[in-house]
Amino acid sequence: AQKVTQAQTEISVVEKEDVTLDCVYETRDTTYYLFWYKQPPSGELVFLIRRNSFDEQNEISGRYSWNFQKSTSSFNFTITASQVVDSAVYFCALSEAQAGAQKLVFGQGTRLTINP
């Protein structure tokens, strides 16, 4: 069975600090996709990134970076030089690439608060 664990329920840092959100996943499939979503106070989930299981290259997008390590089943998300606008709940999710609906399994989310 698929499972996503985000062990950090809440994180609070001061603006400009770097912060890493952890995500550990479980799956029996060899082909799967991992995602990060951001949920600001408005409630809508915003798609940030997708990674497939065959691509372990780290990715950087501005202040955001993602570290995918199959050996430890982790897909961690780092925000560099955090800003108040980064405050949100962040979800990691997993989808197995089998024929069908490609359902997403979500972690419980990490509430990130950036203090000015």
Partner 1 sequence: DGGITQSPKYLFRKEGQNVTLSCEQNLNHDAMYWYRQDPGQGLRLIYYSQIVNDFQKGDIAEGYSVSREKKESFPLTVTSAQKNPTAFYLCASRDRDRSSYEQYFGPGTRLTVT
| Binding residues vs partner 1 (CB under 8 A) | 4, 9, 33, 35, 37, 42-47, 50, 91, 95, 97, 100-104, 106-109
Specify the residue, 87 or 95, whose C-beta has the smaller distance to partner 1. Answer: 95
Burial of 15: CB neighbours in 10 Å, binned 0-12, 13-18, 19+: middle
Backbone CA torsion sign across 20, 81, 44, 94: negative
> What are the DSSP calls for 27-64, one per residue?
-S-SSEEEEEEEE-TT---EEEEEEETT----EEETTE
Specify the residue, 18 or 56, whose C-beta has the smaller distance to partner 1. Answer: 56
Instruction: Give least dist CB 17 to partner 1, A.
Output: 24
Specify the residue, 10 or 18, whose C-beta has the smaller distance to partner 1. Answer: 10
Among the listed residues 96, 112, 116, the one whose alpha carbon sits nearest the alpha carbon of residue 104: 96
Instruction: Give least dist CB 69 to partner 1, A.
Output: 20
Instruction: Give least dist CB 105 to partner 1, A.
Output: 8
Instruction: Give least dist CB 81 to partner 1, A.
Output: 26
